[in-house]
C-alpha cells in the first residue's frame, strides 16, 4: 500500500502547488485578501504531502519492500539500516523526490516565517515557489516515479552502489540540495520584486538571511563531496574539475557573488538590478546543475538520447523558469535602477570587482563544462576539456579576488578612505610575504612564483580577517554578528587557500609494488607492508593490509589498514584507503591489486596541510551562519511587524 | 577626477581585466582540449600529432600481460574493428576489467599507445562514447 499512498500524496501535493501559484499570483494582482489567505495553508499542505511521500518511500526501503522497482534496484536485505535510508536518494527517482521534499520544506519555512512581509509580496513569493514545485512534481510523476511496482517482486534487491555506502556521501545529497534548492527562495524573492516593480533596501534585508543560509548549506555540501572524493574514490584527489563537481560549483560562485551584492543593496541601495540578475543566475545554475547530473548527459550523450523524455522535460523546465524570469527582468529591471554614487576606493567598488571576478570564473567554468556537450550533441566530435583549463580560468580571477578581499574588508562605504588603515595593510602585506618565505623554506623544493603568491595571499587574508574583530576589541566596541561572520568566512578563504596551495604544490605521490615485509619511502616516511588478511563486512568481503609507517627518526607513526572490498551483490571492487591525519599532513595508502606471489600494487601519498582546505571551507560556512543570525534581521522583522499591525488597525 | 572620468577609469579597468582574462582563458582552452578517438580512428591515423589524446574501447578478454616485479602492464583496447595495444605503469582503477569499457589518456608511439592515465568510470554500465550500439550486449543483460 505504501507505494500507492506515496503516489496519491504526490498527486495531492501537485494540486496544492497549483493552488499555491494561482491563488498567490491572481490574489496579489487583484488585491483579493481572501484569495491570498489561501496561499499559506496551501503551501504548508503541499509540503506536508511531499514530506509524507518521501517518508513512505523511506519506509518502503526500511521494510525491504522489493515489490517497489526503485527499492529493488537500489537496496538489499543485507544493506545496513543507515544506508537503506541513504539509498532513498541513491539514484535518479529518489534524488528528484529529495529535491522536491527540500523545496517543500524551504517553501514551508518561507510561509511560516514571512508573516512580517506585506501580504501581497509574500503571496507572490510563495506563488513563484509553487510554480517551481509544480514543475518538479510533474517531472517526478510523469518521468521519474519512484513508486512504480515491479511484478513479480524479486526475492532480494540489487543493492546500493558500493561507492555510495559511506557516511559522508549519505549526508552529501541532502545538504547539497538544501543549498541548491535554497537559491529558489532568493529567485522567488527576485521574481516577486520584479512583478511588483518595487525593490527597496527592506527587500534586500528580507532576502539576505535566506540566501546566506542556502549558500552555507551549499558550501558544506561541496566540502563533504570533496572530502568523500578524497578518501572514498580511493585515489587522494580532492577536486577533479569533473562536470558533476562543476555543476555544484557554478551555483556556489554565483551565490557567493549574490550574497556580496545583496550587502551593497541592503546597505546603500545600489546594484539593484544586478542583484536581481544574480539571484536569477544562482538558481538557474542550480537547475542547470540538476539537469547536467540528472539527465545522464554527462555519462554519455547517448544516455541522454536513450531516455529523451527525462532530459527534454528538465530542459523544458529549465527554459521555462530561466526565460520566464529573464523576460520579467527585461520588462521590469529598468524601473529598478539605483541612483546613488560611490568613489573608486570605497567598499562598493571592491564588492563590484568581487562580483565581476566571481561571475567571470563561473562563466569560464560554464564554458568548459558545456562546450564538449554541445559539440557531442551537434555530432562534431568527442572532446574533453582537461583540468589545466579549469585550474587556469579559476586562478586568473581568484588571485585578484583574494587580493581585493584583503584590502576591501577595511574599506569604508561610499567614500574612498583607505589612508587610516594604510599602516595596518602594509604590515599585513609584509607579514604575508615573510610567512610565504618561511613556508617555502619549510617545505623546500624548487621555488615557484605561483606557489609563493598563493602562500602570501593566504596568510595575508587570514591576518586581514583576524584584524577586524581585534580592532573592535581594541576600541572596546561590540562587534556586530554580520561583521564577525564576514571576518570568520574570510579567514576561511585564507585557510582554504593555504591548504589548497600547499597540498597541490608539495604533495608526493608514488605507485609502488610491495611484497610482504618490503617497504617504500615517500617524503621521508617509510611505508612497510607487514600483513595481509581477509575480513568480512556486513555485505562485502575484503582483503585488508597492515602498513606500518615510520618517520625519518625510525619512530613508528601509525599502522594503517587499507582495504580492497568486493561487495557481494554487485561484485564491484572498492578501494578503502587508509589515512593517517595530523595538523601538518595526511599519510595516505590505497591498495591497488594483487600482482601475484603475494605482491600488491599500492598508491602511497604524502599530503601536507590538506585538512586546512576543508577546514577553511567549513569556516566559510560558519561565517555564513554567524552572519545569518545577526540581530538586525530579527529587529527589522519585529519592527516591520509593528508597522503592518498599525497599518492594519488604521485600515 | 570628475565622477565622469572616474566612471570611465573604472569601465576601462574592467574591460582591460576582462580582455586579459578572455585571452588567457582561450589559450588555456585550446591547450587543454583533449580529443577522443576509437581504435579504428586511431589506427586510421587521425591522431598523428604529438598531442595527448583519449582512446576509448573495450579491454580485450585475456589480453592483459603484466611485467613481473613491476607495475608495468599492457593490454589491448578494441572497438571490434581494430585493436590497439596500450602500455601503462601504475595502479589501475577499481573498475578496470577485461571485457569492460575503458578510456585511456596518452599518445601513440610506433603504433602502440603509451597511456599516462587510465580513467575510472564509476559505473559498470558505462560505455565509452561512440561505442554504445556497436557493442554486443554484456552477458546477462
- Highest mean pLDDT, choosing among A47-51, A139-143, A316-320, A511-515: A47-51
| H or E stretch covering A533 | strand A525-536
Asked if B72 and B5 sit in the same domain, the reply is no
pLDDT(A1) > 80:
no
Domain annotation covers residue B141:
no
Burial class of A353 by CB neighbour count within 10 A (0 to 12, 13 to 18, 19+): buried
| Contact check, Cβ <8 Å, A512/B33 | no
CA atoms of A605 and A588, how far apart (whole Å): 5
Nearest CA in chain B to A364: B25
- Rounded to two decimals, what is the model's pTM? 0.92
Condensed to tens digits (0 to 9), the pLDDT of residues A404-437 reads 999 999 988 888 778 888 899 999 999 999 999 9
Question: Do B46 and B96 fall within a single domain?
Answer: yes
Give A16→chain B minimum CA distance, Å.
38
- Is the pLDDT score of A641 beyond 60? no
Q: What is the mean pLDDT of chain B?
A: 78
What is the domain range of residue B88? 36-119
Which parts of chain B sit beneath pLDDT 50? 122-126, 132-141
**CA A157/CA A155 separation, integer angstroms:** 7
Reported ipTM: 0.80
Chain A contact for B10 (CB, 8 A cutoff): yes
User: C-alpha A223: how far from its chain's center?
Assistant: 7
Looking at the fold, whether B27 and B50 belong to one and the same domain comes out as no
Residue A607's pLDDT band, with cuts at 50, 70 and 90, is: very high
Q: How many CB pairs under 8 A join A and B?
A: 116
Looking at the domain assignment, is residue B137 inside a domain? no
Does B108 reside within a domain? yes
In this structure, the answer to whether residues B27 and B77 fall within a common structural domain is: no
Of residues A302, A389, A590, nearest to B29 (C-beta): A389
Percent of chain A's residues with pLDDT above 70: 95
Strands (E), A555-598: 556-560, 563-567, 572-576, 578-581, 585-596
Residue B128 maps to a domain: no
Q: How many domains does chain B have?
A: 2
Whether the pLDDT of residue A462 is over 70: the answer is yes
A345 band by pLDDT with thresholds 50, 70 and 90: confident
- Rounded to an integer, what distance in angstroms lies between the CA atom of residue A224 and that of residue A238? 10
Say what the pLDDT of residue A540 is: 92
B73 lies in the same domain as B91? yes
The sign of the dihedral angle between the CA atoms of A434, A440, A446, A451 is negative
Q: What is the pLDDT of residues A257-306, one digit of tens each?
A: 999 999 999 988 888 889 999 999 999 999 998 888 877 776 655 555 55
The confidence score (pLDDT) of residue B111 equals 84
Interface probe with A: pick from B2, B8, B28, B123, most Cβ of A within 10 Å: B28
In-domain check, residue B22 = yes
List the CATH number of the domain containing B77.
2.40.50.140
Same domain, B48 and B92: yes
- Looking at the structure, do residues B60 and B27 belong to the same domain, yes or no? no
Let me know whether B88 and B111 are in one domain. yes
Taking contacts as CB-CB distances below 8 angstroms, the residues of chain B near A570 are 124
**Which tens digits make up the pLDDT trace of A491-531?**
999 999 999 999 999 999 999 999 999 999 999 999 999 99
Q: Tens digit of pLDDT for each residue in A219-260? A: 999 999 999 889 877 677 888 888 888 999 999 999 999 999
Q: Check whether A192 has a pLDDT greater than 80.
A: yes
Task: Identify the DSSP state of A501.
Answer: H
From residue A129, alpha-carbon distances to A123, A126, A176 in Å are 10, 5, 19
Residues B51 and B104 in one domain: yes
Both B71 and B8 in a single domain?
Answer: no
Same domain, B53 and B106: yes
> Does a structural domain hold residue B124?
no
Let me know whether B19 and B61 are in one domain: no
* pLDDT value of position A11: 97
Beta-carbon separation of B91 and A592 below 8 A: yes
Amino acid at each position: 500500500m505504501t507505494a500507492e499512498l506515496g503516489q496519491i500524496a504526490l498527486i495531492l501535493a501537485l494540486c496544492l502547488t497549483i493552488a499555491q501559484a494561482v491563488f498567490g499570483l491572481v490574489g496579489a494582482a487583484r488585491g483579493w485578501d481572501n484569495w491570498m489567505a489561501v496561499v499559506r495553508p496551501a503551501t504548508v499542505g503541499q509540503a506536508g504531502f511531499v514530506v509524507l511521500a518521501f517518508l513512505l518511500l523511506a519506509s518502503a526501503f526500511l521494510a525491504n519492500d522489493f515489490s517497489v522497482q526503485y527499492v529493488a534496484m537500489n537496496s538489499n536485505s543485507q544493506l545496513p539500516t543507515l544506508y537503506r535510508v541513504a539509498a532513498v536518494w541513491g539514484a535518479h527517482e529518489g534524488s528528484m523526490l529529495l529535491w522536491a521534499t527540500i523545496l517543500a520544506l524551504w517553501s514551508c519555512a518561507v510561509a511560516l516565517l514571512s508573516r512580517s512581509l506585506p501580504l501581497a509580496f509574500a503571496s507572490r513569493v510563495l506563488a513563484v515557489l509553487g510554480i517551481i514545485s509544480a514543475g518538479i512534481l510533474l517531472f517526478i510523476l510523469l518521468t521519474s516515479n519512484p513508486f512504480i511496482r515491479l511484478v513479480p517482486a524479486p526475492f532480494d534487491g540489487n543493492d546500493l552502489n558500493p561507492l555510495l555506502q559511506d557516511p559522508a556521501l549519505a549526508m552529501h545529497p541532502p545538504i547539497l540540495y538544501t543549498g541548491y534548492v535554497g537559491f529558489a527562495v532568493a529567485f522567488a524573492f527576485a521574481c516577486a520584486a520584479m512583478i511588483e516593480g518595487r525593490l527597496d533596501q527592506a527587500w534586500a534585508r528580507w532576502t539576505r538571511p535566506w540566501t546566506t543560509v542556502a549558500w552555507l548549506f551549499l558550501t558544506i555540501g561541496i566540502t563533504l563531496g570533496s572530502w568523500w572524493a578524497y578518501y572514498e574514490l580511493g585515489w587522494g584527489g580532492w577536486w577533479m574539475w569533473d562536470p558533476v563537481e562543476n555543476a555544484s560549483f557554478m551555483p556556489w560562485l554565483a551565490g557567493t557573488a549574490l550574497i556580496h551584492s545583496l550587502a551593497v543593496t541592503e546597505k546603500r541601495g545600489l546594484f539593484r538590478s544586478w542583484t536581481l540578475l544574480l539571484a536569477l543566475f544562482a538558481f538557474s545554475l542550480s537547475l542547470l546543475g540538476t539537469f547536467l547530473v540528472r539527465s545522464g548527459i554527462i555519462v554519455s550523450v547517448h544516455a541522454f538520447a536513450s531516455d529523451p523524455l527525462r532530459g527534454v522535460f528538465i530542459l523544458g523546465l529549465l527554459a521555462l523558469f530561466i526565460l520566464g524570469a529573464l523576460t520579467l527582468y527585461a520588462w521590469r529591471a529598468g524601473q529598478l535602477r539605483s541612483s546613488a554614487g560611490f568613489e573608486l576606493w570605497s567598499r562598493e567598488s571592491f564588492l563590484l570587482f568581487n562580483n565581476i571576478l566571481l561571475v567571470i570564473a563561473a562563466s569560464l567554468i560554464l564554458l568548459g563544462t558545456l562546450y564538449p556537450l554541445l559539440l557531442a550533441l551537434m555530432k562534431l566530435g568527442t572532446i574533453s576539456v582537461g583540468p589545466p583549463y579549469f585550474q587556469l580560468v579559476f586562478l586568473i580571477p581568484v588571485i585578484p579576488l583574494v587580493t581585493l578581499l584583503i584590502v576591501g574588508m577595511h574599506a569604508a562605504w561610499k567614500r574612498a578612505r583607505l589612508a587610516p588603515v594604510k599602516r595596518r595593510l602594509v604590515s599585513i602585506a609584509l607579514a604575508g610575504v615573510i610567512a610565504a618565505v618561511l613556508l617555502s623554506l619549510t617545505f623546500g623544493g624548487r621555488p615557484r612564483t605561483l606557489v609563493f603568491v598563493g602562500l602570501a595571499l593566504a596568510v595575508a587574508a587570514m591576518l586581514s580577517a583576524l584584524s577586524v574583530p581585534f580592532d573592535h576589541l581594541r576600541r572596546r566596541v561590540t562587534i556586530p554578528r554580520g561583521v564577525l561572520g564576514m571576518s570568520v568566512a574570510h579567514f576561511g578563504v585564507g585557510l582554504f587557500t593555504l591548504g589548497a596551495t600547499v597540498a597541490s604544490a608539495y604533495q608526493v605521490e608514488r605507485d609502488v609494488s610491495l611484497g610482504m615485509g618490503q617497504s617504500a619511502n615517500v617524503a621521508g616516511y617509510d611505508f612497510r607492508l607487514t600483513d595481509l588478511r581477509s575480513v568480512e563486512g556486513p555485505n562485502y568481503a575484503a582483503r585488508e593490509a597492515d602498513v606500518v609507517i615510520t618517520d625519518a627518526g625510525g619512530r613508528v607513526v601509525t599502522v594503517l589498514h587499507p582495504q580492497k572490498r568486493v561487495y557481494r551483490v554487485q561484485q564491484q571492487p572498492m578501494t578503502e584507503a587508509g589515512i593517517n591525519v595530523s595538523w601538518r599532513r595526511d599519510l595516505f595508502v590505497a591498495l591497488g591489486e594483487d600482482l601475484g606471489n603475494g605482491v600488491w600494487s599500492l598508491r602511497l601519498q604524502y599530503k601536507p596541510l590538506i585538512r586546512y582546505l576543508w577546514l577553511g571551507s567549513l569556516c566559510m560556512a560558519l561565517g555564513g551562519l554567524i552572519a545569518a543570525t545577526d540581530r538586525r534581521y530579527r529587529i527589522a522583522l519585529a519592527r516591520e511587524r509593528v508597522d503592518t499591525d498599525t497599518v492594519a488597525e488604521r485600515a | 577626477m570628475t565622477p565622469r572620468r572616474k566612471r570611465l577609469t573604472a569601465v576601462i579597468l574592467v574591460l582591460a581585466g576582462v580582455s586579459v582574462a578572455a585571452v588567457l582563458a582561450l589559450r588555456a582552452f585550446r591547450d587543454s582540449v583533449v580529443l577522443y578517438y576509437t581504435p579504428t580512428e586511431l589506427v586510421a591515423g587521425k591522431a598523428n600529432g604529438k598531442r595527448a589524446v583519449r582512446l576509448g574501447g573495450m579491454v580485450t578478454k585475456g589480453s592483459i600481460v603484466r611485467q613481473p616485479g613491476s607495475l608495468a602492464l599492457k593490454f589491448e583496447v578494441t572497438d571490434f574493428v581494430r585493436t590497439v595495444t596500450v602500455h601503462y605503469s601504475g595502479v589501475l582503477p577499481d573498475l578496470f576489467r577485461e571485457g569492460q569499457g575503458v578510456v585511456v589518456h596518452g599518445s601513440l608511439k610506433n603504433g602502440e599507445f603509451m597511456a599516462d592515465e587510465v580513467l575510472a568510470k564509476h559505473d559498470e554500465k558505462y560505455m565509452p562514447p561512440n561505442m554504445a550500439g556497436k557493442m554486443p550486449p554484456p552477458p546477462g543483460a
